[in-house]
Structure formats: C-alpha cells, structure tokens
Homo-oligomer: A and B are copies of this chain.
Amino acid sequence: MKKIINKPENFVDETMTGILYAYGNKVTFLNGDKRILIKNTETKPGKVGIVTAGGSGHLPVFLGYVGEGMIDGCAIGNVFASPSATKMADMIRACDYGSGVLCLYGNYGGDNLNFEMATEEVEFEDIKTTMVRVKDDVASSSKENAEKRRGVAGMVYAFKIAGAAADNMMDLDGVTNVVKKALDNIRTMGVALTPCIVPEVGKPTFTIEDNQMEIGMGIHGEPGIEVGELKTADEIVDIMMEKIIGDIELNEGDEVSIMINGLGATPLEEQLICYKRVYEILEGKGVKIFMPHIGEFATSMEMSGLSITLFKLDEELKTLLRQPATTPFYTNYNK
C-alpha cells in the first residue's frame, strides 16, 4: 500500500484536522467532533440549512463543499462508510437556522437508513426536514429502475444549486423542489482504470488487468456495465456520452454544464482531452456548454479514471449555478 499516511486508523481524523488547520476561517468541527464539519461563518437567520453525509475518501466530496453558498454541514464516517444517525442528527440540529434543513445525499444504503433515523429523531424537536437522494449514475441501474441509481459527482451540482437557492432565502419546499428539478436534469457516467486502497483494509477494492478498463464502475468499485480492453479517449467518451444522452431529452439550442471529474489519479491533461470530445459531440447537436467544471470534484482517493456529468439547464438553474460560492474546494471561478 503506497500511501503517504500515518496509522491507517487515524486516516480520517488526521484528514479532518488538516482541514480545520487549513480552513478554520471557513469551517469548524461541531463541538469538537472530528466527524462533523460545519460552516464557521455567519448565516442569515431563517436561511434553509443544507446538509449532507457519507463515507470518507472522496475529497473534495463532501467536506470540501461546506462553506458560503453551498452546504452548511457534513457528517462523515470512515472510508466508504456511512456516519451514524446520531452524528447526522447533531449536524441537522446545528444547521437549522429556523426554517428547516434539506438533507441532500447520495443514494447508498447506509446513508439512506441513517438519514431516515436522524430526521425522525429531530422531528420531535420541531425541526422540519426534507430529504433528497442524488441518483445521477446512469450506469448503476436502468432508466426503468432509476430509483436504484447511485449518487456520484452530480451531487456537486446539486450542492451548488441548493446552496444558492437557500442563500436567496427560498423556503424549505422551494429549495427542495429546485434541487429535485436540478437532479432530474443531471446524469453522470464514469470509467475506472485502476482501483484504490482503503487504508484500514490495505488491499485494492477490486482488481483490473493492466490493459483493461471498466466503464460504469461506481466510486467504491461497484461493478460497471462493460469491462474491456482500454480504448482511446474519444472511444471512451463516445460510449459514455451515448449512454448519458440516451437517458435525457436533449435538443438543439439547449444549454448544459459539463463536469469532467478526475477520480483521483487521472491527470488534468487527460480530463481536458475528454472534455474536447464532449464539446465536439454537443456542438454537433447544437447544444451549448455553460460553466464547464474540469478537475477533481468527487474522487476515490488514488483511483484512476474519470466521470462525465451532464447538467441540463434552464434560466433559473443557470442563475443559481452562476451565483457566488466560496468553500475550501469550490469557488465560483467561471463567472
């Protein structure tokens, strides 16, 4: 296991301490709890709170998006493991500014169950909550079973939209509805070339031959839809874009944002080469790209590969996407 770490069992705590030391002007631990990160800046009274939760090992997701204009709190568990319902409930309480809290998170068993329990718990304290699950990974289930799809990089767009809507003082139902609308228009698909190693496990999450790739693989190594010989960038993008475009109505004149998300070890150069192809495909369809996002947004530590997210926009979503945000790992740089 070739990692620059100390004791594997301290991986998450030390990462969290690093975040606090680096960004203590923006974020802080809730009551010193190294598994709950909340905003450390002033919040308008009555703003809807936006929270998330999930396993560690995906930075910048989720922690890196706690801050102005995105999410207010994030509870995290061990690597690839959900945090407890108790931690989630503590976080929800801390992020209720009087108008309720939207719980916005990826569609994974542990997170679903724990958020159900956490929201039930705070209900008795008269804290209103809504829950929206991100299910953007088109490779993880068929369109007919879209309810079973996993949440991946598309959640970064969801955080951005929710945060902007809440900043505009929309009420809880309003924020919830606009995020649902955004998610109806978000699709992601990924390809993995190499696995990653969970520090406390010490062995790769899966194996993949030296000349192979897996299209549609999940960010925890969940099986994809096609294992095969490594193809060219253009061929890989074509396969992914065909699947994405086949899942959403896209017409000439539409505007979309595109996120090319490196899974951890994939160079920016390769991401840009893939973006070039995405651009050409969309240009051929008369679809314009607004505010592309290229870089690492939702990773699996040192996994090699990337995902493409398409986010179809209307005027409201464009305005919300464009609105300022400043978090440790997201700045609205494309204004």
Known: A22-B294, A331-B333. A3 touches B301 (CB 8 A): no
Which residue of B is nearest A232, CB measured? B6
* A4, B294: Cβ atoms closer than 8 Å: no
Cβ of A242 under 8 Å from chain B:
no
Which residues in window 177-205 of A have CB below 8 A to B?
191, 193-194
Range, interface on chain A: 35 or more
Known: A14-B273, A18-B275, A331-B333. A4 touches B268 (CB 8 A): no
- Given B19, B59, B306, B328, which contacts A267 in the complex, CB threshold below 8 Å? B59
Cβ of A81 under 8 Å from chain B:
no
* A191, B4: Cβ atoms closer than 8 Å: yes
Number of copies: 2
Cβ of A73 under 8 Å from chain B:
no
Q: Please report the C-alpha to C-alpha distance between residue A3 and residue B17 in the assembled complex, in whole angstroms.
A: 34
* B268, A59: Cβ atoms closer than 8 Å: yes
* A230, B276: Cβ atoms closer than 8 Å: no
- A52 vs chain B, min Cβ distance (A): 17
Q: Please report the C-alpha to C-alpha distance between residue A194 and residue B272 in the assembled complex, in whole angstroms.
A: 23
* A15, B272: Cβ atoms closer than 8 Å: yes
Q: A268-B299, A326-B335 are in contact. List 10 more A-B contacts (CB 8 A).
A: A11-B269, A17-B276, A18-B275, A18-B276, A18-B294, A21-B275, A21-B279, A56-B269, A59-B269, A267-B301
Q: Please report the C-alpha to C-alpha distance between residue A194 and residue B294 in the assembled complex, in whole angstroms.
A: 24
- Contact residues in B for A335 (Cβ distance below 8 Å): 326
Q: Please report the C-alpha to C-alpha distance between residue A64 and residue B271 in the assembled complex, in whole angstroms.
A: 13
